Structure 1
């Protein structure tokens, strides 16, 4: 499906286009999702630890309900990366701090999803295990998309102004990682397909930063999930 726009992709995911472009499992997933503009999909993969920061999705979902007019599914969905149903999601989230080594089905779905209009936020949650998540995930991306595919986002990239205006990627309290550089990363990286960002990759650990009881948001001087709203709005509208 080369050249598919994000809008076309979302219509497919919602069940609006049928036929040879979409398999039966995707039509079924779209039928379940119909009625929502957004649902949060966490990718489950066989290697590593995919289920970190379990309160983060509810915080982001709450912000989307508070700040936007989107019809948002209030519950996180967990879908195996190897399951073709993940291809119907308008937005996917992947995290971990251990090894990432895709099996054949996971690799096939990940590549197809990104190349054909999907959007994945991948957040490195590594602080103390020698950068294993980052190093292994980046190897996977080089093998699938090419060694130069992951590129730094420009400070004026549309994701920083898609809803709120943000001066570059917000820092977190968790990003001084333990795998050798001890740096605050002042950039995000991504993979762009046909002028469209399909993968946003963070070493800043937004998952841990946004992983708290959502009731405690009222104690924050500034809601730190606003950038998450930007990411979702970019994913849905670009």
Structure 2
């Protein structure tokens, strides 16, 4: 099993701060009035999970089993300790600052988010939080995606969605990926909001969660097209890359897992 470590990123006077610690600090500094005196339960031994953003009364969780299946694959394929109980956060409190990875999914248009949620999401992303947006619509530019673009414009009005270059570290943070495949393949590129080279939010129209989802009997919920089971495998690999990226701030491309890359290229690795 490949050894995976959370990246130390922000130098402090007496040590280092990783993404999770930075988010906690941001929550306490920026939302102190919201949760006075609250202690965040994310010590060094805390297990990683992904939080779902509950942004509406309905339609916010079209693939309810998907993130748990992805987390099981993360635990199986890496040394990251995971918690498969995926929490839902409403974006109106500081709860989302306990999680470095936040997922927003949907398959239909939704109403504008409350102003407080917009402000909290802005603080979350600017403080190091990573937002993954996954469309279950099966089309590249449906009503859900239009709603997402509208809300990202409110959250970060000074930034625009732009295509992610194929050589971005997201595509090689664990696996070497050449295209963003999900349940469907309706777009060959994902888009993101950048802060210099750091991804604040990634938007995928290919229904990644649809490729990850299983039913209670362990069967895949949805068929994958056009590439079948190999495409499903690539969707899982991309999801694991998302997790690896979300656990680091300012990930350096030249520090990605070299032994794994060499092995993929069939070179000898001791």
Give the TM-score normalised by structure 1.
Answer: 0.80
| Whole-angstrom distance in 1 between the partners of 2:80 and 2:168 | 23
Higher Rg of the two aligned structures = 2
Matched, 1:96 2:98: no
1:117 to 125, 128, 147: 128
Matched, 1:133 2:135: no
Measure how far apart 1:115 and its partner are: 1.3
Measure how far apart 1:48 and its partner are: 5.4
2:157 to 131, 143, 146: 146
Q: Note the residue ranges of structure 1 that are not aligned, 5 or more in a row.
A: 176-183
| Whole-angstrom distance in 2 between the partners of 1:190 and 1:79 | 22
2:192 to 180, 190, 193: 190
Q: Do the aligned residues in 2 keep the contact of 1:56 with 1:212 (CA within 8 Å)?
A: yes
2:77 to 67, 82, 97: 67
Please report the RMSD computed on the Cα atoms of aligned residues, expressed in angstroms: 3.1
Give the TM-score normalised by structure 2.
Answer: 0.72
Q: Do the aligned residues in 2 keep the contact of 1:87 with 1:109 (CA within 8 Å)?
A: no
| Whole-angstrom distance in 1 between the partners of 2:212 and 2:28 | 40
| Whole-angstrom distance in 2 between the partners of 1:122 and 1:41 | 12
2:240 to 214, 223, 229: 229
Return closer, same or farther for 1:60/1:7 CA change in 2, 3 Å cut-off.
Answer: farther
Return closer, same or farther for 1:136/1:12 CA change in 2, 3 Å cut-off.
Answer: same
Return closer, same or farther for 1:143/1:229 CA change in 2, 3 Å cut-off.
Answer: same
| Whole-angstrom distance in 2 between the partners of 1:22 and 1:103 | 16
1:124-172: CA deviations, max 9, x gaps? 12248x82111111011123323751110001111110001111212x3
Q: Do the aligned residues in 2 keep the contact of 1:45 with 1:82 (CA within 8 Å)?
A: no
SS of aligned partner of 2:67? helix
1:40-84: CA deviations, max 9, x gaps? 101101365112101101111111100111121121111112222
1:43 alignment counterpart = 53
2:223 alignment counterpart = none
2:263 alignment counterpart = none
1:181 alignment counterpart = none
Return closer, same or farther for 1:103/1:14 CA change in 2, 3 Å cut-off.
Answer: closer
Question: Aligned residue pairs: how many?
Answer: 223
Q: Note the residue ranges of structure 2 that are not aligned, 5 or more in a row.
A: 1-8, 11-15, 221-227, 252-270
